[in-house]
């Protein structure tokens, strides 16, 4: 059974919002719809995400964005982050 793009988007959005549980990190605010229209890939704006993470958690010297995601939001959030950034 082939999953439609809309179904994939909804599944990804819901998993993201469940993992991050912070309205400031709402998936719809980070989703790159222009790229999705062209490529059918579900991706987020990593720079915008990083900017919001800094607003929420401040500076994190000596740590990477990945470290902060794992520390503050857990493995599930990190896995969905990797999926929508293709890291």
pLDDT, position 2: 54
SS3 64: coil
Question: Which parts of the chain fold into alpha helices (H)?
Answer: 5-20, 27-30, 33-39, 46-57, 65-73, 75-85
pTM: 0.87
pLDDT, position 1: 42
Considering just the CA atoms, what is the radius of gyration of the chain in Å? 13
**What is the mean pLDDT of the segment spanning 30-47?**
92
- pLDDT by residue (tens digit) across 42-81? 999 999 999 999 999 999 999 999 999 999 999 999 999 9
**What is the mean pLDDT of the segment spanning 3-28?**
93
């Amino acid at each position: 059974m082939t999953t439609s793009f809309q179904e994939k988007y909804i599944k990804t959005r819901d998993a993201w919002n469940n993992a991050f549980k912070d309205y400031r990190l709402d998936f719809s605010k980070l989703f790159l719809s222009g790229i999705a229209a062209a490529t059918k890939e579900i991706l987020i704006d990593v720079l915008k995400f990083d900017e919001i993470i800094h607003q929420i958690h401040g500076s994190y010297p000596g740590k990477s964005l990945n470290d902060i995601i794992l520390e503050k939001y857990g493995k599930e959030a990190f896995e969905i982050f990797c999926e929508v950034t293709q890291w």
